[in-house]
């Protein structure tokens, strides 16, 4: 029988490796930025076009590569970072597996220009689908410029899985934020479709955060610093009153490498216990320094997950450090273990007891004549009121009338639910709906019983209303007495600007939409002023988290976000008229059976199904 096992060709193996390393254009951005940092660059420039699908280019002023290194860098498992397996546990660099450039070159058109300091000319290499097209001498400045064009050109199935340009751009910006925050000593510049998105000069960590997320971020930060033998923590956490509904501003860096850790995130949440509103998430920008030998960063293809030797100790230290910082800056109550002992009561006085206080028990403040006689220094003496008896004339008759009026006062009482069993009292109107556990509205139909999820049902009602208002463009707006000013980061302002026209059709009126400021003078009739910031934050979160896929329009997204934010929440008590209105409005919708997210809004239980429960 013929042999059936064979070695894969290099270009096939590279494409398989690319499936793990390169998932989207943001993965290319991450790998190229990390290579530029490892090259010792002081300034890094990122240029993208069409959300990275057409072009991703990274230009740095680092060390550059020789002719041999430039050609060898595109081979599989070629790296300058490690020599032996033991080096994997002494890593102080970013890339170390030697798969990035080989994987990228297998699925894109790559052009590399590089030159070392002291060389007169550099090297230019052009590769298409792992095949080297040319290698020439070129005049180029010191450093490296690597262009990745037409990503996934030879794997159309992978290209079809990419999201819309808005979503892919958001992922690229996220990766850019993570790298830029981890290295504030390096200058970063980012261009998208010819326009400058970020220009981050070399700065300290606090200034880097402010440059990325806006100037208003500065007043939200609380510094965190802790230095132990096991862990060194530095960075900032956000004040509880500025917590958001989304998790966008949560960054952990371990040895200058961004990671995701649900366990350490729980430590932050535990430190904020009791300080955050329901559904709110604290912001944090924390740098953790640990011994490289105590972590393993090679357990995930994207290297965003790290395995620690002693997670429990890190959890306790991190939680205590954040809690101490919140208490130190009067954000949360804290026990003061560093009080001044000089302010304490000396032990010698503790046995003497408290000083005695003498009280004149014969003192009468109403004895005006006696008080004036004894107080010789006072020039004022209150005269007794003349004809004081006249003040009480007629009070007896008035008091009788008052008692008579009070006997006829009717007091309001809480509405009582109708009894299940008839107790003989006449009922003016038959109640057709009931609320069950403040979550479901129960109504009877001919075939049985109807159970309606009040939150999903109200979402469907509001969704169709908002969709109609946006489409017809006849929404009513209520003017605010004072303009409402909200502050967002420049990236969030860009998202709001893209949706401004649709928001105005729902009833929002924008007076100012600047770099970091949104000023609103009118809101839809059904939207309370206190909910405006929550609505915009939820809308921004939906745009960032891949909700607007290619199959969705901005109008549909806006209607869903508004409906989700303003719908009646689970646990909210509804009156009988509100329950009946909810039921009637739901079945007046075009698609009453499902919510905007295609989840069931109600279920029915027939009499036969109910009878079977008693068998």
pLDDT the model gives residue 372: 52
Q: Which helix (H) or strand (E) holds 506?
A: helix 500-506
Q: Which whole number is the average pLDDT over 310-332? A: 85
pLDDT at 400 over 60: no
Local confidence band at 405 (pLDDT 50, 70, 90 cut-offs): low
Q: Which of 175, 191, 332 minimizes the C-alpha distance to 251?
A: 175
- Decide: 81 and 31 in contact? Cβ < 8 Å: no
Q: Which of 240, 330, 234 minimizes the C-alpha distance to 283?
A: 240
What does the pLDDT look like over 604-614, one tens digit per residue?
888 888 888 88
Distance, CA of 564 to CA of 119 (rounded, Å): 61
What does the pLDDT look like over 199-254, one tens digit per residue?
999 999 999 999 998 888 888 899 999 998 888 999 999 988 888 877 778 899 98
Q: Do the bridges between strand 55-60 and strand 43-49 make them parallel or antiparallel, or are there none, so unpaired?
A: antiparallel
What does the pLDDT look like over 254-309, one tens digit per residue?
888 888 888 888 999 888 888 887 778 888 999 999 888 887 776 666 667 777 88
Ranking 63-72, 83-92, 258-267, 543-552 by mean pLDDT, the lowest is: 543-552
Q: Which whole number is the average pLDDT over 180-196? A: 92
Ranking 124-128, 304-308, 401-405 by mean pLDDT, the lowest is: 401-405
Rg of the chain in Å (alpha carbons): 35
What is the 8-class DSSP label of residue 17?
H
pLDDT at 407 over 70: no
Local confidence band at 49 (pLDDT 50, 70, 90 cut-offs): very high
Q: Which whole number is the average pLDDT over 316-323? A: 91
The sheet that has 440-444: what strands, in order across it? 433-436, 440-444, 448-453, 602-606
pLDDT the model gives residue 406: 52
Structure tokens at 406: 């009070």
pLDDT at 595 over 80: yes
**Using CA of residue 293, residue 299, residue 304, residue 306, what is the dihedral sign?**
negative
- Decide: 122 and 136 in contact? Cβ < 8 Å: no
Instruction: Please give the domain boundaries of the chain with CATH numbers for all domains.
Output: 10-200 (3.30.565.10), 212-328 (3.30.230.10), 434-604 (3.30.1370.100)
Distance, CA of 234 to CA of 211 (rounded, Å): 19
What mean pLDDT value characterizes the chain? 80
Residue pointed to by tokens 């009717």: 410
pLDDT the model gives residue 98: 62
Q: Which whole number is the average pLDDT over 333-361? A: 59
């Amino acid at each position: 029988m013929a042999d059936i096992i064979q070695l894969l060709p290099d270009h096939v193996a590279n494409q398989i490796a690319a499936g793990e390393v390169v998932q989207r254009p943001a993965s290319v951005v991450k790998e190229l930025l990390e290579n530029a940092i490892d090259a010792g660059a002081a300034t890094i420039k990122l240029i993208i076009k069409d959300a990275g699908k057409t072009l991703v280019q990274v230009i740095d002023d680092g060390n550059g590569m020789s002719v041999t290194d430039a050609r060898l860098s595109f081979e599989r498992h070629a790296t300058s970072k490690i020599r032996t397996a033991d080096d994997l546990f002494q890593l102080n660099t970013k890339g170390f597996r030697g798969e990035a450039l080989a994987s990228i070159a297998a699925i894109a058109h790559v052009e590399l220009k590089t030159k070392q300091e002291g060389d007169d000319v550099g090297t230019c290499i052009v590769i298409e689908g792992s095949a080297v097209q040319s290698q020439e001498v070129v005049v180029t400045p010191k450093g490296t410029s690597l262009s990745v064009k037409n990503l996934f050109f030879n794997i159309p199935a992978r290209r079809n899985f990419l999201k819309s340009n808005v979503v892919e751009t958001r992922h690229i910006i996220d990766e850019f934020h993570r790298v830029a925050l981890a290295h504030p000593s390096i200058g970063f510049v980012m261009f998208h479709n010819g326009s400058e998105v970020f220009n981050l000069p070399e700065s300290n960590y606090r200034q880097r955060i402010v440059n990325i997320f806006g100037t208003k971020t500065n007043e939200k930060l609380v510094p965190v610093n802790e230095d132990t033998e096991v862990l060194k923590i530095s960075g900032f956490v956000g004040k509880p009153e500025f917590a958001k509904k989304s998790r966008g501003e949560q960054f952990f860096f371990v040895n200058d490498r961004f990671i995701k850790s649900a366990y350490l995130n729980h430590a932050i949440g535990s430190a904020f216990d009791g300080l955050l509103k329901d559904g709110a998430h604290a912001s944090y920008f924390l740098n953790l320094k640990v011994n490289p030998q105590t972590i393993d960063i090679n357990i995930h293809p994207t290297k965003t997950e790290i395995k620690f030797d002693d997670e429990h100790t890190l959890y306790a230290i991190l939680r205590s450090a954040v809690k101490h910082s919140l208490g130190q800056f009067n954000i949360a109550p804290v026990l003061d273990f560093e009080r001044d002992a000089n302010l304490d009561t000396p032990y010698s006085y503790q046995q003497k007891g408290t000083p005695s206080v003498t009280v004149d028990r014969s003192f009468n403040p109403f004895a005006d004549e006696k008080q004036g006689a004894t107080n010789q220094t006072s020039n004022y003496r209150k005269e007794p009121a003349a004809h004081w008896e006249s003040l009480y004339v007629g009070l007896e008759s008035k008091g009788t009338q008052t008692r008579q009026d009070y006997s006829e006062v009717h007091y309001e009482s809480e509405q009582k639910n109708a009894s299940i069993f008839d107790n003989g009292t006449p009922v003016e109107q038959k109640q057709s709906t009931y609320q069950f556990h403040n979550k479901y509205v129960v109504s009877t139909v001919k075939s049985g019983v109807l159970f309606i999820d009040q939150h999903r049902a109200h979402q469907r009602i509001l969704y169709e209303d908002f969709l109609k208002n946006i489409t017809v463009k006849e929404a009513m707006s209520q003017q605010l007495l004072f303009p409402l000013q909200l502050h967002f980061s420049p990236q969030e302002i860009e998202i709001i600007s893209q949706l401004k026209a649709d928001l105005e059709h729902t009833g929002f009126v924008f007076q100012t939409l600047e770099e970091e400021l949104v000023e609103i003078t009118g809101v839809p009739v059904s939207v309370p002023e206190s909910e405006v910031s929550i609505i915009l934050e939820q809308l921004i979160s939906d745009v960032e988290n891949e909700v607007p896929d290619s199959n969705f329009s901005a109008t549909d997204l806006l209607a869903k976000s508004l409906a989700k934010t303003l719908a009646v929440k689970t646990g909210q008590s509804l009156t009988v008229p509100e329950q009946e209105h909810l039921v009637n409005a739901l079945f007046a919708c075009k698609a009453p059976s499902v919510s905007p997210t295609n989840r069931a809004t109600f279920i029915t239980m027939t009499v036969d199904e109910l009878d079977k429960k008693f068998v």
